[in-house]
Amino acid sequence: MIYKTLGETGLEVSILSFGASSLGGVFHDFDLNKGLKAVYTAIDLGINLIDVSPYYGFYKAEENLGKALKEIDRSKYYLSTKVGRYGQDGKKEWDYSGHRAIESVHESMERLNVDFIDLINVHDIEFANKEQVINETLPALWDLVDSGIVGSVGITGLPVPLLKEITEEAEDGMIETVLNFCHYCLNDDALSDDIDFYKSKQIGIINASPLSMGLLSERGAPEWHPASKEIKEACQKAANHCKSKDYRIEQLAVKYAVDHPEIATTLISTTNPENIKKNVEWALAPQNEELLAEVLEILKPVHRLTWENS
């Protein structure tokens, strides 16, 4: 495994990280024992950052991940979770108040069976009031850093410009990491525009969803995917082209994502241990540069076309 420094957090993270959203049944039903084995397999192969949220599966992901973490030496992984997005009885909830943020961290630690969170994030800032995030949520999380139960503080979200905007307006040092998804992958590299900005502020970058939530897969995007028909068709065309060359677009996409020198780590999520093994193998193998150029050409008509979070 290859490791990189995550900004100034002091965390040396693997270039692939484990996204535990799948342990909440976010994408489809799964076998819990197999899902727990996926976590163990990730750790065994050198993946050392695990990311989760109370929102994933409405607390189920944290509960299930906690079952796995009871069996893993705490020194073998860094743990990242979030505040701000929740839900119950099938209904989504948002609360970015400082009081709820502090309460949420303690609840997460109980579900996860830990007494320390390495990285706490404000989850999906596009749903929050910007001023509240800057003046209330972030300071509350820093209180937890001061109390010794949290290591570092970050923000997450889909819109690339908003992540930068909040980082610019927040006091220097308040935001140590940014996590963005679906914007450094084969069909959309918009995150790359701001990498020099984050580097200048010594902020660590976490990239998520190198397959763009299933768009960049042989199976194709799931029905619920918010991308337009145009994006889905272009990505399927690219996947079919790879298949015609006896190559999986997933391998091309994972390697593309981890290859950026200034992105510390890329999150992948699966409950299948074999998929973990494949992703690690793909991340460490050489890139197929010729095929990469062909696929990028196919995806040009939809380059950087995106969608709103929900």
Element (H or E) spanning 105, and its range? Answer: helix 98-112
Q: What is the rounded radius of gyration, in angstroms, for the C-alpha atoms of the chain?
A: 18
282 neighbors 255 (Cβ within 8 angstroms): yes
- Cα–Cα distance for residue pair 7/174, rounded to 1 Å: 13
The SS3 call for residue 100 is helix
Which residues face 80 on adjacent strands?
Answer: 51, 119
* Length of the chain counted residue by residue: 310
Residues catalogued as catalytic:
56
Count CB-CB contacts under 10 A for residue 233: 15
305, burial (CB in 10 Å: exposed 0-12, middle 13-18, buried 19+): middle
Q: Indicate the angle between helix axes 289-298 and 249-258, nearest 10 degrees.
A: 100
Q: Backbone dihedral region of 12: left (phi > 0), alpha (psi from -120 to 50 degrees) or beta?
A: beta
Amino acid at 41: T
194 neighbors 200 (Cβ within 8 angstroms): no
- Checking DSSP bridges between strand 12-14 and strand 3-5, what pairing results, if any? antiparallel
Element (H or E) spanning 2, and its range? Answer: none
Count CB-CB contacts under 10 A for residue 286: 6
